[in-house]
Structure 1
């Protein structure tokens, strides 16, 4: 099939595009032309590159026509963030394209109520921010589109994406590089909350696997949405203990209040940590396994370790002790 991937030069596309080429598909990548894949692969030589500014074309009402002009059988949309943008693309592709796949987010769900959270959303409160609200509205619109006999669609909701080239959400639920420095040195780590809060990661290649499986079995994926995460989730204290062992250390956690935590870090790091730990999410992948045959290769700690090793090897972060894992 001819597959157009929108935003295929990013983290997901780094793994998805080569997978699609190896599967024998003709692949076209639409991007702004300002970035390249995080990991080199010979398959990229067979990919047609098309430069387009989606934000500008969405404003002009021309992006759907740009995609349709490429005559795709399948479209994979990795960079759609508003209901308006998603609806415009659906209306352009309806009746012309066999399958549209959309990259959603687990942040379509809010705080956890009952774990693990399934796709029906009953295990979580409503989304907490505009990003999550938009992703939830898009997923609902796409499901209704297919149910009403329109365009065949599938939505994939990834967890916290990790892999080479990507800074992972760390043990405190944020991107603060000092967390890794503290853990590597064996120093006490100031932890807000109970330490039982959970985060659910996914390796970018496992996410790419899910997209590839949904493309290969359109009937199983039609009108569905899938939570795509690692087989297990990590708690704050468990994550910290595992990470410390990578440096030959034992984690020492110092429980602090959220006010104390905020006073000891930047506003941005505190806000990101709160957004992840307050949700305290954990998801089931039973539906993706049963319908698509999804079989993630990475436990969350293995996926994070791969990210961390890449960051260290490429000088993106520094730690006082080397990895021994």
Structure 2
């Protein structure tokens, strides 16, 4: 049986055929340059040149300073001052690295920084996952109020809390007047643990987890702790990786707060000690110390880049 096409249908089909011939998609959407225009040699060359320029610019802006620092770390001071962009005009001085490691005691400050970063990572991950689990999965009656209070803390400038927080560290409540957390790594770990941003992004990730799994676990008799440890955490590896990278890098580069609560140089991290020794150190040795201090952040990004980039949109929850 044949069907008779109306004039309107014929016009629509003709319109669709013309769009298909021009390379437009089925939905009729197109970008700045259509698929038809992309087939033109001149347009292809122009777009390729723009892409190459953007990629080259990003590489120079992102990797340029790091590569220059790596080069200058093994370059004599005179060469860095007279020919800063030359590649070792008078040879490589590997002794800069050993001098920075031993004479400036970078090894000790490096260890202090690792301890601070690991502690900050543990406490931030612990608080973010447990708080996010309580607000998203357990959902007590007052959860909306708590969520609003956590969100409200993001609008408070950090400098406003600096003095009250310092006074709390100097004289913690419930411990007496003679007790102080100064020169104690807990003074850095505990304030970093109360990170509202981490709590909110973890809660948002937990909100997207399939509720059917939680109902099945409750039916099988799993309690809140068992469900958190055996179900929620294994399903949340992407967001745990994101929070881990944020926590470690934030602790690694923090300067002001460790300077205030860790006045003893023996327990200070690299971010505090390197500016303090700059005026007493040769330029080449100081640049070598800076290069050593960047090893952990770069290594963490290379190790976790896949997890971090996949989870950037926080949309990686398992579909039910």
More strand by share: 1
Tell which has more relative contact order, 1 or 2 (C-alpha 8 A, sep 6+).
2
Query: What is the TM-score normalised by the length of structure 2?
Result: 0.21
Report which of the two has the higher share of helix. Answer: 2
How does the TM-score come out when normalised to structure 1?
0.20
